[in-house]
Structure 1
Amino acid sequence: MLLPPHHQLLTVGDARAVLAQARDDAPICAGVSLLLLAGLRPTEVEVLQVADYRPDTRQLAIRASRRPRVIRIAPTAGTALDAYLKTQSTDPEDYLLPELSSTRLVQLVRGVAAAAGVGAGVHDLRRAAIDAVLDDGAPVAHVEHYFGLAVAPRDRKGLTAPPEGYDAGIAAVLEQVFA
């Protein structure tokens, strides 16, 4: 099981409210979008570099993680990143969202959620994303790979990479559920 049974999950409506509340501020919207629409950890958002984002394919390389991976992100998350980057002068080695350290992201998400009338934090957004994909019936191995979950392989199937394009399906589910 991915979550403790006593943990109350964020409802889809509450998650959407948090995302909607963040839309007026480009860096916050981009950060919240990466947490909810790509299921990233705050520390993963913090260390992303401009070169890690490929706008043409909507792919994001999460390299500075315990579970490095390249994933396709939901179109709305890509649009939020594009809108933010249009206002910036950046080099590929620059941080993608330099204003959003993991500590600052935690504070901002709590504030945005409170303004939306929701009690939620950064990890609640990630959990909501994982829950939505599992509810849609995605294979657990794909969910583990996409979200960079540390799970010991139960058999040899756990050692193989998911099929090409699996991430597009997960991104589409996140887009459909939350955007």
Structure 2
Amino acid sequence: MSGLEWLEAASYIVTIVGLPLAIGVYIYDRQRDRQSDEEEIFLRLSDEYADFMRLVIENADLHLLSPVVKGTLSEDQLERKHALFAILVSLFERAYVLVYEENMGRQQARLWQSWEDYMTEWCQREDFRTALPALFQGEDPGFVATIQRIAETTAGKPG
């Protein structure tokens, strides 16, 4: 076998083995990048939720950490509570738009489940459920349907 024949044989081997291997490595890298992007989105959203909870703590007089409404609130308190609910609904919509899909993979479903848990927790509050219709203007229709379903399912359940 001459040197030229060896080179030709080697090129066939590279084509037969190397090309599928390169395609496999490319697909694996793309999946890993996609998973990393999903986790980064989730971490950013989680940070935003933590910031929201700091606002709730700073406004402790609104009793938003309590599962039931306590006493009557002043006009100023009602306005602040409505603003906090608006921030929360906006955050929930962002999570819905960035994380939720009809056919989610296992990892993405896990990420979405924690957001659905947050929504369920807040929808157990009667004052939050009552505020929702006014907060839905301009929101994503899929998100509105999802949170309405959660609100209807959790209505009357203890927090």
TM range (shorter): under 0.3
From the two aligned structures, give the one with the greater strand fraction. Answer: 1
TM-score (norm 1): 0.24
Higher relative contact order (CA 8 A, sep 6+): 1
From the two aligned structures, give the one with the greater helix fraction. Answer: 2
TM-score (norm 2): 0.26
Q: Return the index of the structure with the highest Cα Rg.
A: 2
